[in-house]
Amino acid sequence: MRFFKTNHLTYQTSKKLFILSVILVSASLIFSAIFFINLFLLSLYFVTVFLFAIASFFIKAYIYSRSLNASQSSVGSGAPFWPLLIALIVVMFIPFLVVLVLEPAGVLLLINGYIAGVNLPEIILYVYTHLKKD
């Protein structure tokens, strides 16, 4: 993990979270193999999983690398309030816009891809930390 500001990540390993992530990713893959018979929807599912996994991995790695410097920062030095509020409002309305634009299979694909994409980095980080310990 040399692409961040710190040399290593402080990742708290949790076997329960790892097992839950494996179950969720496996269930998502099985669900997508059963219901997304169309090759276009299946490839769109894998692209969605990839994008969410990359974004989630960088967010988790950023958070874990910032936890090393937590003692140096003060409580009030976070992000400004107004951009976070605007981002929260936009994120709250994205599902409604997606339902209007996509058909129900597309919405199901995005939800299923999100579940697998967010849990996949947890598996990768768990395996990475356990391989590094050995």
Residue 44 lies in a domain: yes
Answer yes or no: is 132 within a domain.
yes
Q: Is residue 109 part of a domain?
A: yes
Q: What secondary structure does DSSP assign to 88-118, as a single string? A: HHHHHHHHHHHHHHS-HHHHHHHHHHHHHHH
Q: What is the DSSP letter of 9?
A: -
Helix (H) and strand (E) counts for the chain?
A: 4, 0
Single-letter code of the amino acid located at 128: Y
Residue ranges making up the domain that contains 89: 38-66+81-134
Q: Which helix or strand (DSSP H or E) is residue 5 part of? A: none
pTM confidence score:
0.70
Whether residue 112 lies inside any domain: the answer is: yes
- Total domain count for the chain? 1
- The 10s digit of each residue's pLDDT in 91-117 is 778 777 777 887 777 788 888 888 999
Mean pLDDT for 59-68 is 70
4 lies in some domain: no
